[in-house]
Chains A and B, each alone.
Chain A
């Protein structure tokens, strides 16, 4: 019965997640961000040649023009595999992330079922993750950070399975997941060893019987995945120096270099850790950058704050001791990458999501059980949340609050609390999705550089073989996007005959060009006699145009 109901839940969650996470994937977010372009370019090149852009076969890190660090390999390999099977499109470039998001939801179900034992509650946890704004949004971005959540969920699913059954093989597989996480994203590179140590502590705290074998399994699983990486770093120690250089300058660590970790600078890391838990970001507005947040909702839906507070407060009572240790430890340690670089954007510490969802699910169970004081406190939370999320009049809300307060001691009062919170959550998510697929696309389009995709596609379509292309170097991100789309649409001939110009002039195409296509400002008078195709922007005003001349 339990097994079949679990299968039904998994199927339902899988279908719902697929519908939600893959819907309009190519057009929401409206365009590829600069990071997505870089990753897609690596994937396109690797899919075509099996090499990186510098020509290295099966590279460990993919180099980027202008950045010596390189990108982590796993997601690029996976994206390349996708691009081997389907033609390039923005949706295909994001498909790996969306699939990771879908897998997260299913893994969350397994984790919660291992912890709480009830499929319905596990489905609630998975549903919560599916409808968590930051998870939804990050899963639709074609870069690798969402993969750290998948690895952590895999680790948690296997670790909780091990804690339930004592099978060392699961522990081995759990630490393998952590090892894999180190090939995905820089945040994971820092965080996975910390979770590995957490695993060792959990195993160490178990009864002494099989402790040695279990520790061996844990260490073995981790080492067998991390060892190649370790060897690579022994051969290429310069990457450590580059990492240190990169993350102590520019926007990171206030450009303080190594002094960012000593003296007065050191305390800033603690502040960054603290700021990660800022309720404003968690429940109200999310990240400041419009590419990572709609600014209309926080990382979590607002009604989730109530069970989350209850879950944190009573975690030691609601969860098994070893599970509580892992969950609270994981939650506290997740912001380490953000603290390390003094930048608290959610993408750096996304692995906090599963822990927060477990805590919230425990809180839901706690609220459902009811109790006079619990329901009274919950009623207050519902009153505030409803005031903020609904247009209902204050007297009506107050009447509902008084009624809930009055009947707080009733047996089913806890159910009413959970139902009210669910209703409010559904309302906020509906509003969020409507914003995400609607006005947010228009508002955020400028943060992606505008409709460069449209301009480049038009330029490629206009250009015949033997034509030359002129591009305005004052247009942000044009160079990277041009590089990607010429590779993706197999027009490297155009890339080789590309010439750049700016306000003062620039490289002139040679007379051998059959014709010239130009991408530039819509009001550029230098091309007033050329055939002009304006490129419409989502937000309205036209900014770019593609010009065509039959002769250079």
Chain B
């Protein structure tokens, strides 16, 4: 396992072509596990997102792999309905697109951002609570834009146009299906956060969603896994701690993604809680953003020193492998 870890870390030495072969194999692996579904796209996008946040192909590879074996992701990817899973690739693409703000504005980065923001309204087609995430994502984009330095308002004009077009498309698609807007109206009635008791219930449900047994160690689940594999509790906690400490020099990309990570981890369950129905499905966004946090924590652990890092990484990998095996029913 330690050797495997070393090889993962050594991935940056590979050239671009080899990296794509590697991640392509990973995607094929996902296809083999899940069947042809949105999960393959999720894994690829997770790889891309982590790569752009950490500029480290090893971390990106591990992040893709982690999503591949995330219990909640596996469960919903393999279900017949795409209602819950639909928003995931769209939101992940948005997250990849906003990483364009880490670079100076250019035609390429402007259109990359525009494509992500334009696609965002599509995430809300299937799930009313996802529509509530839309203003949150837009607010996060504005916040990241304000902190981006060289970007000016004129650079985001294509994004604004794309958003308007995307919204129009969403309204059209909703009108065509004749359900989503009505659902959303009903959802807003139940999710009236101006009422203190509705807010209290939503906060309570959201807090309950994050209880340790639900996230990491569910006694009744296969392999005792929660939404995440149990060993991820360590890097996620390290990641939260690292994010809470303000750094003099921000890390490449990932520190600027903090608003997106917070919104992704908390926003999903909170918006679902407003309707009084928090399930793993309606809160699936927590998984990729939680894994991004775990990747951040893993990079911090790596800085603690070579030997402790390798030892803990090896131990966590071993436990995760055993648990993933149990989860997938290997050895039965």
**A contact residues vs B (CB 8 Å cutoff):** 263-265, 267-268, 270-271, 274-275, 277-281, 283-285, 302, 313, 384, 387-389, 394
Contact = CB atoms under 8 A, between A and B. Distances in A.
Contacts of A268: 213
B207 A279 contact: yes
A387 B197 CA distance: 12
B276 to A, nearest CB: 13
B12 interface: no
Interface in B190-231: 194-197, 199-201, 203-204, 207-208, 210-213, 217, 219-220, 224
Contacts of B217: 267
B244 interface: yes
Interface of B: 194-197, 199-201, 203-204, 207-208, 210-213, 217, 219-220, 224, 244
Nearest to A385: B196
Given A267-B213, A270-B213, A280 B219 contact: no
Nearest to A279: B203
Nearest to A274: B211
B177 to A, nearest CB: 32
B18 to A, nearest CB: 42
6 contacts: A268-B213, A271-B213, A274-B210, A285-B200, A313-B244, A388-B194
Given A263-B219, A388-B196, 20 more contacts: A267-B217, A270-B212, A270-B213, A271-B213, A274-B210, A275-B208, A277-B207, A278-B204, A278-B207, A279-B200, A279-B203, A279-B207, A280-B207, A283-B200, A284-B203, A313-B244, A384-B199, A387-B194, A388-B195, A389-B196
A284 B208 contact: no
Contact of B194 (A280, A283, A313, A394): A394
Contacts of A285: 200
B204 to A, nearest CB: 3
B244 A267 contact: no
Contacts of A278: 203-204, 207-208
A416 B199 CA distance: 25
Nearest to B207: A278
Contacts of B224: 264
Given A263-B219, A267-B219, A280 B204 contact: yes
Contacts of A279: 200, 203-204, 207
A313 B243 CA distance: 11
A514 B238 CA distance: 78
Contacts of B220: 264
Contacts of B200: 279-280, 283-285
B118 to A, nearest CB: 29
Given A280-B201, A284-B203, A394-B194, A275 B211 contact: yes
Nearest to A388: B196
A268 B196 CA distance: 29
A284 B196 contact: yes
B212 A267 contact: yes
A419 to B, nearest CB: 22
